[in-house]
């Protein structure tokens, strides 16, 4: 049995057929992590006792002949910005190096209720601020497709873990593309639901009006199963939506013939790598062959998305990260003689360069005399971006774009130029700003063997349509274009 190719469906089949036990599956994945993680850097911490206890509980259910829950025995990894009771949760930052939360995030609790086996916490850019997982406060993560390249970010550890067979599925977070971009770079599926579809309770906040939790998986069906488990209203999160959760897996087989797909011209201009463009255009053609009607649309305010995002996101980060001051929990610099000195030394020592940069940008945008010029104007642009999507969806059922302008870049290639790094998210930040659901699905590879991602957007709370299209693409061989 090759654990590196297992899907949720295959795990369930093996367990029901008594071909393997849940404990054996957990042990095999933990052994693979032990063998591979030093080179890959995908995990920051493991919780083997918790994993094996969960697995043994599933084995007892099987022995008793009980009906298995949807994720029974499935080894899952959790991005280290999502809290787990008693397990280190650092957000990839030294300032939270010794933090062990007293509770589980709602998404984690729902996974365990569905039978998932939690293996450990995955590497990420510090406080989810980055596009390459090079901003981790501990060590960078590498792309399984090419160890000299980044896995994307900020959910790079989760993407690498799934792509390399260290977990069957993983949770990530997406604020400006942090699920979809690493999924595209690593050649797997990454799904961001509508804002409010999945509870953010227990997600360490970066930018609260943009943050999402979502799954990274090997197949679209697995993404549908994972979303079905974690989605739904949560009284602990006032922004979670009280909207019915459909049976996403059941919707996968619906025919896609006749669906209208919009291709936004703004996503195919300067800066798009020629090989990425060629693969995405092949993918769009494949969807056309499936009977979808493809037409050009316009999202006219796309050019302003990066500037808008990096004002709103940094402003919210400035506010959210004010709590890490050395007073209540986490790191405290020991030798300070005054409160002000303790603040300076704690935050100076605990935060990395990118986090400091974003706190300063956000604080500046919110400061007296600049609030109206920057933050307020960015919110107005966000409203225009939202309207762009609403108007486009009056013409089409879904929008299809590249996930990223380039394939995975080399480690260190963009670290000296923050603006160039920020532009890696140029096609993904729009979905977060508009609050629409988005998904990256593999769309072949470049000549060098680097994965290319194709991105789909649909209307708010229409994740079923998103998954339906991606599944049809997968079944038609779109992964291997």
Q: Is the pLDDT of residue 412 over 90?
A: yes
Dist. CA 75–CA 289, nearest whole Å: 36
Q: Is the pLDDT of residue 41 over 90?
A: yes
Q: Is the pLDDT of residue 376 over 90?
A: yes
| Topology agreement, domain 3-251 and domain 260-306+373-480 | yes
Strand bridging mode 293-297 / 438-445: unpaired
pLDDT at 371: 93
Q: Is the pLDDT of residue 1 over 90?
A: no
Confidence grade of residue 337 (pLDDT, cut at 50, 70, 90): confident
pLDDT at 225: 98
- Measure the N-to-C terminal CA separation of the chain; round to a whole number of Å: 27
Confidence grade of residue 208 (pLDDT, cut at 50, 70, 90): very high
Q: How far is CA 418 from CA 35, 94, 478, in A?
A: 33, 21, 33
pLDDT at 330: 87
Dist. CA 434–CA 92, nearest whole Å: 27
Q: Is the pLDDT of residue 257 over 90?
A: yes
**Cβ–Cβ < 8 Å for 481, 283:** yes
- Cβ neighbours around 27 below 10 Å, total: 16
Q: Is the pLDDT of residue 334 over 90?
A: no
pLDDT at 418: 87
Q: What is the CATH number of domain 3-251?
A: 3.90.1300.10
The 10s digit of each residue's pLDDT in 79-121 is 999 999 999 999 999 999 999 999 999 999 999 999 999 999 9
Confidence grade of residue 138 (pLDDT, cut at 50, 70, 90): very high
Dist. CA 397–CA 82, nearest whole Å: 32
The 10s digit of each residue's pLDDT in 60-84 is 999 999 999 999 999 999 999 999 9
pLDDT at 419: 86
pLDDT at 312: 98
Assigned architecture for domain 260-306+373-480: Alpha-Beta Complex (3.90)
The verdict on whether 178 is a catalytic residue reads yes
Dist. CA 152–CA 132, nearest whole Å: 4
SS3 362: helix
Helix (H) or strand (E) holding 445: strand 438-445
Confidence grade of residue 462 (pLDDT, cut at 50, 70, 90): very high
- Cβ neighbours around 113 below 10 Å, total: 12
In our burial notation (b when 16+ CB lie closer than 10 A, e otherwise), range 188-214 reads: bbbbbbbbbbbbbbbbbbbbebbbbbb
**Catalytic member of 173, 178, 318, 404:** 178
Dist. CA 422–CA 439, nearest whole Å: 20
Note if the pTM is more than 0.95.
yes
pLDDT at 380: 98
Listed in order, strand segments (DSSP E) in 282-342 are: 293-297
Dist. CA 427–CA 471, nearest whole Å: 21
pLDDT at 336: 84
Q: Is the pLDDT of residue 153 over 90?
A: yes
Domain boundaries, the chain: 3-251, 260-306+373-480
* Mean pLDDT score across all residues of the chain: 97
Instruction: Count Cβ atoms within 10 A of the Cβ of residue 344 and give its class: 0-12 exposed, 13-18 middle, 19 or more buried.
Output: middle
pLDDT at 84: 98
Residues in Cβ contact with 215 at an 8 Å cutoff, skipping those fewer than 6 apart: 169, 170, 171, 172, 179, 189, 190, 191, 222, 223, 226, 227, 230
**Catalytic member of 93, 154, 404, 440:** 154
Return the closest-CA partner of residue 456 out of 175, 190, 186. 190
**Cβ–Cβ < 8 Å for 342, 326:** yes
């Amino acid at each position: 049995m090759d654990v590196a190719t297992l899907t949720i469906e295959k795990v369930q089949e093996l367990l029901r057929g008594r071909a393997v036990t849940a404990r054996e599956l957990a042990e095999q994945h933990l052994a693979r992590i032990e063998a591979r993680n030093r080179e890959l850097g995908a995990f920051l911490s493991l919780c083997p006792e918790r994993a094996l206890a969960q697995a043994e509980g599933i084995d007892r259910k099987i022995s008793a002949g009980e009906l298995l829950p949807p994720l029974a025995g499935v080894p899952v990894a959790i991005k280290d910005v999502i809290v787990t009771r008693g397990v280190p949760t650092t957000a990839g930052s030294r300032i939270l190096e010794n933090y062990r939360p007293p509770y589980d995030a709602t998404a984690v609790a729902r996974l365990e209720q569905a039978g998932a086996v939690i293996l450990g916490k995955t590497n990420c850019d510090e406080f989810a601020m980055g596009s390459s997982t090079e901003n981790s406060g501990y060590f960078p993560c590498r792309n399984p497709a090419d160890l000299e390249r980044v896995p994307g970010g900020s959910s790079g550890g989760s993407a690498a873990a799934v792509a390399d067979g260290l977990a069957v599925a993983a949770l990530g977070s997406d604020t400006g593309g942090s699920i979809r971009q690493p999924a595209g770079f690593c050649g797997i599926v990454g799904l961001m639901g509508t804002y409010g579809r999945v509870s953010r309770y227990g997600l360490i906040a970066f930018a609260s009006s943009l943050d999402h939790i979502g799954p990274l998986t090997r197949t679209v069906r697995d993404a549908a199963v994972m979303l079905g488990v974690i989605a739904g209203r949560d009284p602990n999160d006032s922004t979670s939506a009280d909207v019915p959760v459909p049976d996403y897996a059941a919707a996968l087989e619906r025919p896609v013939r006749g669906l209208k797909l919009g291709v936004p011209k703004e996503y195919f201009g300067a800066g798009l790598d020629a090989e990425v463009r060629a693969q995405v255009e092949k993918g769009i053609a494949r969807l056309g062959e499936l009977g979808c009607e493809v037409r050009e649309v316009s999202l006219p305010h796309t050019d302003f998305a990066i500037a808008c995002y990096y004002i709103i996101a940094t402003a919210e980060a400035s506010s959210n990260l004010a709590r890490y001051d050395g007073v209540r929990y986490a790191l405290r610099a020991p030798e300070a003689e005054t409160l002000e000195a303790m603040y300076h030394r704690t935050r100076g020592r605990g935060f990395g360069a990118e986090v400091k940069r974003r706190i300063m940008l956000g604080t500046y945008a919110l400061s007296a005399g600049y609030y109206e010029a920057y933050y307020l104007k960015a919110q107005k642009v966000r409203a225009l971006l939202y309207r762009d999507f609403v108007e486009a969806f009056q013409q089409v059922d879904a929008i299809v774009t590249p996930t990223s302008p380039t394939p995975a870049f080399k480690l260190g290639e963009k670290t000296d130029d923050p603006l160039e790094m920020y532009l890696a998210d140029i096609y993904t930040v729009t979905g977060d700003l508009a609050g629409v659901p988005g998904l990256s699905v593999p769309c072949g590879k470049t000549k060098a063997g680097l994965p290319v991602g194709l991105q789909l957007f649909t209307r708010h709370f229409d994740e079923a349509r998103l998954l339906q299209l991606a599944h049809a693409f997968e079944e038609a061989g779109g992964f291997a274009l």
